[in-house]
Amino acid sequence: MTGKRTATSDLWWKNAVIYCLDVQTFFDTNGDGCGDLVGLTERIDYLAGLGVTCLWLMPCYPSPERDDGYDISDFFTVDEKLGTLGDFAEMLRTAQDRGMRVIIDLVVNHTSHQHRWFRSARKGRDAPFHDYYVWQDEKPEASEQLVFPGEEVSNWAWDEDAGQWYFHRFYSEQPDLNTANPAVRDEIAKIGGFWLALGVTGYRIDAVPFLLEEAAGPESEHKDPHNLLRELSRYLSRRRGDAVLLGEVNLPYEQATEFFGTNGDELNMMFNFPLNQAMYLALARKDVAPIVKALKSMPEIPAECQWANFVRNHDELSLDKLSDSERAEVFEAFGPEEDMQLYGRGLRRRLPSMMDGDQARIRLVYSLMFSLPGTPTLFYGEEIGMVENLEIEGRLACRTPMQWTAGTHAGFSSAPDGARLCRPLPEDQSVNVTDQRRDPDSLLNWMERVIRRRKECPELGWGTVTVLTDKGAALVHRCDWDGATVVAAHNLGDKPAKITLPKDDGWTVLEDLLGTQDAKPGEQITLEPYGYRWLRPRS
């Protein structure tokens, strides 16, 4: 291994495979119908076998569950229905023993209205923690952006006890924290330090732009709100040198990259929302142009930073950065019914449903995602092709219990047949882990092979991308890093596509990384409908 590769080995997130899950829908061991931390611990070996290197846990804090667990009533423990802090520590130890890091959601835009801070704050202007929140004597006439249009009509809610209006970006049961207050920032640092001390390796930070908008409040006048991220990054890095901050920043590239900081001193990673939305537009059109445009417009980012790629974000597949007409195209292709859509901006379907169960199209999309420059992120159940349950209201349609077997409750829970689960299973339970493990041609076994290859291709995580085609149904791109190259070709269309492979000095063969069909540099080959190839040049 060269010196360059050794020097960059500490930046583990550049070549990771991230797997996101909701503990309560993953595996239930005590038969109460709700997944638990003991169940997750029992399934760590399954995740390690899949090739996961970083586990991302959605909120498992105590919560009244008004907002899917993001309305938190205590930041320093786990919800008792999931287990205990001891169970959490045992899960961490098991994951680390299998070479797997764990990150958790850091949700500090707001608290639940049942949090002790807010219960105190509402007792009056001089009450402890009153200035932890944002209050007004008169309701402002103008509202900020409504995150849940149709469910809330204003960002301001009246509190009878306090005799004031309080600000909430999300639901009224989630009062926003005043992150311009230094005391609140200290609390955020304590929360971050606490879970790092238990053994987590970092955080996925929820709704980062909103977090910084509140940081720009009156108490931060003439100060840079990005200081909040810089301070948090420095603090967590002192506590743990390999800590990572993965941010949810759904903004255009020119605005999003500000959150990496000038020298990578803010977020380490950011979800690539522009590329994800461009991918769905390209799939709907069977034309690579939207992806090409996104790839060519991706700005240079600090060397230590990284984009996180995904096929399906949890809860909502957001398409809000597409134009109205572009979004209408994607809706028509992948979610034409109104109950498949959400807030007029996104879809609440999983990929197999959107692809009408077509395995060729499903595998094409995942091959594309894994080969795009950045770090791949999976949502639980994607590896077996789980579908959603549209009978569940709102954003929870895609958070159904994990399907382990063909037995009762899909093997998710030992609860009696007919017992109520934390969330109902979809009507279509035709896929499960046990059956797919026994089928060498299953999506699960295919996914394991692709993940293994992806981990063997650091060029895709570290390299510089060059797009070699810019129109039609076939996308060809290459990623170069440290003298090595990977070429990827994908046909988004339902007809064969001819492509010409690149050539370079010293190349004698292009080794097929996902099959046995090696090619020659400069050769013209045909990709079958929805076909894909990963190739590595050899001298």
pLDDT tens digits, one per residue of 496-525: 999 999 999 899 999 999 999 999 999 999
Q: Are 83 and 36 in contact (CB under 8 A)?
A: yes
- Alpha carbon distance 517, 510 (integer Å): 9
Least confident of 31-40, 145-154, 348-357, 421-430: 145-154
Q: Which of these three, 401, 434, 455, is where a domain ends?
A: 455
Contact partners, residue 461, CB within 8 Å, separation at least 6: 14, 15, 16, 306, 373, 374, 375
**pLDDT on residue 27:** 98
CA angle centred on 458, ends 263 and 198, rounded to 5° = 65
Which CATH number does the domain housing residue 494 bear?
A: 2.60.40.1180
Does residue 352 sit within a domain? Answer: yes
Query: 106 with 232, same domain?
Result: yes
- CATH number at 405 reads 3.20.20.80
pLDDT surpassing 90 at residue 157: yes
- 413 and 504, same domain (yes or no): no
pLDDT at 278 over 70: yes
d(CA 270, CA 495): 35
Q: How confident is the model at residue 3 (pLDDT cuts 50, 70, 90)?
A: very low
pLDDT at 190: 97
Would the pLDDT of 145 be above 90?
Answer: no
**In the structure, what pLDDT confidence band is assigned to residue 220 with cuts at 50, 70 and 90?**
low
Are 270 and 372 in the same domain? yes
- Give me the mean pLDDT over the 20-30 stretch: 98
150 within a domain of the structure (yes/no): yes
Tell me 152's DSSP state. B
Tell whether 399 and 484 lie within a shared domain: no
Best CA proximity match to 199, nearest among 101, 105, 106, 53: 101
CB atoms within 10 A of CB 524: 10
| Residue with more model confidence, 16 or 505 | 16
Phi, psi (degrees; rounded to nearest 5) at 185: -65, -35
Domain identity same for 95 and 237: yes
Establish if 293 belongs to a structural domain.
Answer: no
> How far, in Å, are 70, 81, 431 from residue 73 at the CA level?
9, 14, 36
Tokens 């896929």 sit on residue: 431
Same domain, 313 and 422: yes
Q: Is residue 253 part of a domain?
A: yes
pLDDT (0 to 100) of residue 1: 29
Q: Is 231 exposed, middle or buried (0-12, 13-18, 19+ CB in 10 A)?
A: middle
Structure tokens at 108: 């500090």
338 an active-site residue?
Answer: no
Q: Which amino acid is at 324?
A: D
8 pLDDT higher than 50: no
- pLDDT over 90 (residue 2): no
Does 296 reside within a domain?
A: no
Distance of CA 482 to the CA centre of its chain: 28
Rounded to whole angstroms, the Cα distance separating 70 from 62 reads 10
pLDDT at site 222: 47
**CA dist list (Å): 415 to 181, 227, 419:** 47, 49, 6
Assess whether 23 and 82 both reside in one domain.
yes
Q: What is the CATH number of the domain that holds 149?
A: 3.90.400.10
pLDDT at 217 (0 to 100):
60
**Once rounded to an integer, what is the mean pLDDT over residues 78-88?**
98
pLDDT at 289: 98
Average pLDDT estimate for 484-494: 98
Q: Which amino acid is at 35?
A: G
Enter the tokens of residue 16.
Answer: 């990771």
Contact 435, 406 (CB under 8 A): yes
Predicted local distance difference test score (pLDDT) of residue 221: 53
Residues 387 and 271 in one domain: yes
Enclosing domain of residue 120:
116-167
pLDDT of residue 218: 57
Give the pLDDT mean for 461-465. 96
Same domain, 124 and 204: no
Among candidate residues 79, 87, 187, 206, the one labeled active-site is 206
Average pLDDT over residues 368-382: 98
Q: Which of 431, 455, 479 is the last residue of a domain?
A: 455
Are 18 and 54 in contact by the 8 Å Cβ rule? The answer is yes
Average pLDDT score over the chain: 95
| pTM of the entire predicted model | 0.96
User: Distance between CA 347 and CA 340 in Å, rounded?
Assistant: 6
Average pLDDT rounded to a whole number, residues 450-464: 97
**Domain membership flag for residue 324:** no
Residue 437: pLDDT over 50: yes
Same domain, 120 and 104: no
In a domain, residue 335? The reply is no
pLDDT over threshold 90, residue 150: no
Point out the domain boundary residue: 455, 485, 516: 455
Q: What are phi and psi of 183, to 5 degrees?
A: -65, -35
> Distance between CA 59 and CA 24 in Å, rounded?
10
Q: Tell me the C-alpha distance between 521 and 538, whole Å.
A: 10
Same domain, 154 and 192: no
pLDDT at 486 over 80: yes
Can 356 be counted among the known catalytic residues? no
Number of domains in the chain: 3
In a domain, 486, yes or no: yes
Mean pLDDT (whole number) for 391-409: 96
User: Which pLDDT tens digit goes with each residue over 318-345?
Assistant: 999 999 999 999 999 999 999 999 999 9
pLDDT band of 10, cuts 50, 70, 90: confident
Residue 12 DSSP label = G
Residue 169: is its pLDDT beyond 80? Answer: yes
Measure Cα distances from 483 to 1, 120, 261, 314 in Å: 12, 60, 28, 36
Q: How far apart are CA 489 and CA 505, in angstroms?
A: 20
In whole angstroms, give the CA distance from residue 107 to residue 182: 17
Residue 31 carries which side chain, given as an amino acid letter? G
Is 55 within 8 Å of 41 (Cβ atoms)? no
pLDDT at residue 219 greater than cutoff 70: no
From residue 457, how far is each of 16, 137, 359, 452, 510 by CA, in Å?
Answer: 11, 58, 24, 9, 14
Residues whose CB is less than 8 angstroms from the CB of residue 531 and which lie 6 or more positions away in sequence, other chains included: 360, 364, 490, 491, 496, 497
Clarify whether residues 121 and 83 are in a common domain: no
